[in-house]
Structure 1
Amino acid sequence: MKKLLGILMAGAMMLSLAACGSTGSEAASTGSSANTAEAATAASSASTDLKVGVILVGDETEGYSAAHINGIKEAAAEVGLPEDQIIWKYKVPESAECSDAAEDLVGQGCDLVIANSYGHQTYLVETAEKYPDTTFVSMTGDFAAISGLDNFKNAFTSVYQSRYVSGVVAGMKLKELVDSGTLTPETQPNSFDADGNVKIGYVGAFPYAEVISGYTAFYLGVKSVFPTVTMEVMYTNSWFDIDKEGAAAEALIANGAVIIGQHADSTGAPAATQRLKDAGTICYSVGYNIDMLDTAPTAALTSATNVWKVYYAELFTAAMNGEEIPTDWAKGYEDGAVAITDLGPECAEGTADKVAEVEAALKDGTLHVFDTSTFTVDGQTVTSAPVDLSYYDYSTGEAVAVYQGETKEAIHDGYFDESTLRSAPYFMLHIDGIVEDSDPVA
């Protein structure tokens, strides 16, 4: 983990327009996926000898891993993969323990080994090098295409799309609060900055591209409905820490934030928001991975989520049929791979209709989340964003290219084209209206 944090923190400081990561010439898969019936039919005639090993950073009590667990089980049932042919490794840290877990899974005869956390990637690839007849998939990883290994793959969803939609939900609520006179500079003065912008907050895990892409998409979703808004981001330097996430939410609300978004995996931020709302503060929560209504029954508006079943059904079907598995896979609303959870009881009137409108535009390609006409950087419209797709190690204090990739332009036709050069996000622009705290939550 220390090595990972060194890489991520240095990378975030050194790179602005170019993301720290990698790819090769093979672009992320963005075509239409097989529908449920087709996937099940294709798999029904396939061999069911496939044995799958799953390495998880958490377990069913942690939202991100729970979403993977559910997606894998649903996909297995859909394509006819027996549950007893899936071997689970829970709470595997982002360390050499991942290598040990992968070795054990290969030893137990797994043909396919999946790891769900970014920090597993560097350890998983070591095992992939040793066992070329086993396929390894590093979820959210970023250098499979330039690793030189045919048996090493990356996959992620276009979750920035559902984060944008969850931002639209938040924007609808802000508009309702202001238009109704519930939220005014007189009733809650700390929630407005000197320019009259309403403050919102965001609890982030680590300061790198996946989180920056996500919180920017969320902010732009809010701004599309309620333009006069500013957002403060606080980091926890942990994927799952209930106490830190709760403390970050409390600090953001103390600074005036009316809505708290998150790219962190626990219920800490929604729970803290609900406590403060119950105490009389005007504040709401937008979660991640899972429905947060049990935790924050009146504060939760919705959560951005991944529909992992879509990927895993495709993966298992391809593996069972002996078909090629994409080196980079990334799909979104157009394939049902991302979504938002049920709307909370205090969402603004008209939110469902607005969500349907936005989701339809994302599906048909008429709406682009990172439309460059909707944001500026240092007051200027961004017309070029070259992305260095090499993978660097910063642990020694200097950038060392472990895998060399090309530098490619990410802006085309007036928008930043996320998750097409590789599956993992690479949006690293720090746009106007968003402020990151320099120090993580202690």
Structure 2
Amino acid sequence: MSNRRFSSVLKLSILSVVLAFTGSVSADPVKAAFVYIGPTGDHGWTFAHDQGAKYVKEKMGDDVIITTVESVEENSDSERVITSLARKNDIIFTTSFGYMNPTIKVAKRYPNVKFEHATGYMREDNVSVYSARFYEGRHVIGKIAGRMTKNNVIGYIASFPIPEVIRGINSAYLAAKSVNPDVTMKIVWVYTWYDPGKEADAANALIAQGADILMQHTDSTAPMTVAEEKGIHAFGQASDMREWGMNAQLTGIIDDWGPYYLDRVQAVKDGTWESVDVFDGVKQGMVKFAPMNQNMPIDVKNEAMKTIIDLSMGAIHPFTGPINKQDGSPWLAEGETPPNYPDLLTMDFYVEGIDSKYPN
């Protein structure tokens, strides 16, 4: 055998041994599926996830096959849909909190399929969880709202009382209060992620209570449209909603899932995927911001930009004591930040100063 041939055989043998221990690189395209709570045209939460899926396709081309299923309810329908997808896909992204238990159930039946659940906390060997530090975005818009409100009333349209939403409310309120001691926050719970009619009704109800700035943790552009019509301000949710509020939108929190999705799908192809728990924010680029409204006062804009920079450098934390819970009991002492990751993931209380009743 020639030296050249012997060398080639040796390299192939070494590669075979390496792959045996580290997993295999698939020559076939990865089949990746995405389960969405709303329509991709909501221009909010689902739109942002779908943009992430499209980013993966753009980067991987023929190395990935993408399947998406829209408007899947958080009930028995989700388990049925996830099960159907598990039969023919390598990795499945379930993109709403209410998909957590169905995802875990299906994952146990399909141990060779990889699952990624957004905003949840339950993991298995073949289930990862991921979320973004949306509360960092709320911290920024809270400061802007505190500076910009004339009535000292901020309206907040909330979806469901889960920790992710509660964190956002608390973060926005604390930030607004830090720059405007007179600010109050009115909260309307709509108990839906996507219902333009209910969201518009909530927006109008908050305006009737004196709110001149709207925030939302729901998915449609309806609140932005109402804000534009009523001549008040609002913030985009999950994506840039300027098209529906050229004058109303002060900025918007943008969820950028693309790089994470690409990394996880590529890991499946490379045979390096493993269960992880990811909670990224401004620093990692998972939370971004739409352009600041050109009519925003320069001092407000500069303060917002400095806050974004401080968050990206880890120089500040939106939850820094002293902070009490709504009932007056202490949560964080002076200068203290949440000592444990679960303190944020399981947040189930309003902070002191919010006068709305905590939802049951």
Same fold (TM over 0.5): yes
Q: Aligned pair 1:333/2:282, yes or no?
A: yes
**Aligned counterparts of 2:235 and 2:91: Cα–Cα separation in 1:** 35
Per-residue CA deviations over 1:223-260 (Å, capped at 9, x if unaligned) read 23323211111100000111111111111111111211
Q: Where do 5+ consecutive residues of structure 2 fail to align?
A: 1-24
Query: What are the superposed Cα offsets for residues 172-206 of structure 1, whole Å, 9 maximum, x if unpaired?
Result: 323xxxxxxxx4xxxxxxx3xxxxxx221100001
Could you say which structure has the larger radius of gyration? 2
Q: Is residue 2:292 matched to residue 1:343? A: yes
Residues 75-224 of structure 1: matches in 2 within 5 Å? 75-78=56-59, 80-82=60-62, 85-108=65-88, 110-144=89-123, 149-174=124-149, 183=150, 191=151, 198-224=152-178
Tell me: higher relative CO, structure 1 or 2? Use CA pairs within 8 A at least 6 residues apart: 1
Q: CA deviation at 1:295?
A: 1.0
* Whole-angstrom distance in 1 between the partners of 2:147 and 2:115: 42
CA RMSD of aligned residues (A): 2.5
The corresponding residue for 2:47 is: 66
1:34-433 equivalences in 2 (<5 Å): 47=27, 49-62=29-42, 63-78=44-59, 80-82=60-62, 85-108=65-88, 110-144=89-123, 149-174=124-149, 183=150, 191=151, 198-277=152-231, 283-373=232-322, 377-379=326-328, 381-383=330-332, 414-416=336-338, 420-421=341-342, 425-433=345-353
Question: Structure 1 unaligned runs (5+)?
Answer: 1-44, 175-182, 184-190, 192-197, 278-282, 385-411
Once the 2 structures are TM-superposed, how far is the Cα of residue 88 of structure 1 from its aligned partner?
1.3
With normalisation by structure 1, the TM-score equals: 0.70
Q: What residue is the counterpart of 2:9 in the other structure?
A: none
Question: Counterpart of 1:114 in structure 2: which amino acid?
Answer: F
* Length-normalised TM-score, structure 2: 0.85
Cα deviation, residue 64, structure 1: 0.7
Q: How much does 1:380 deviate?
A: 5.2
Q: How far does residue 383 in structure 1 lie from its aligned partner after superposition?
A: 3.7
C-alpha displacement of 1:374:
5.6
The whole-number CA distance in structure 1 between the counterparts of 2:258 and 2:300 is 26
TM-aligned CA deviation for residue 69 of structure 1: 0.5
In the other structure, the counterpart of 2:15 is none
Change (3 A) 1:228 1:48: farther
Q: Secondary structure at the match of 1:128?
A: helix
Aligned length, in residue pairs? 335
**SS of equivalent residue, structure 1 residue 51:** strand
Which AA in structure 2 matches 1:94?
E
For residue 75 of structure 1, what is the amino acid of its counterpart? V
Task: Note closer, same or farther for the CA distance 1:355–1:70 as it changes in structure 2 (3 Å cut).
Answer: same
The amino acid that maps onto 2:58 is A
Contact 1:233 1:434 in 2 (8 A): no
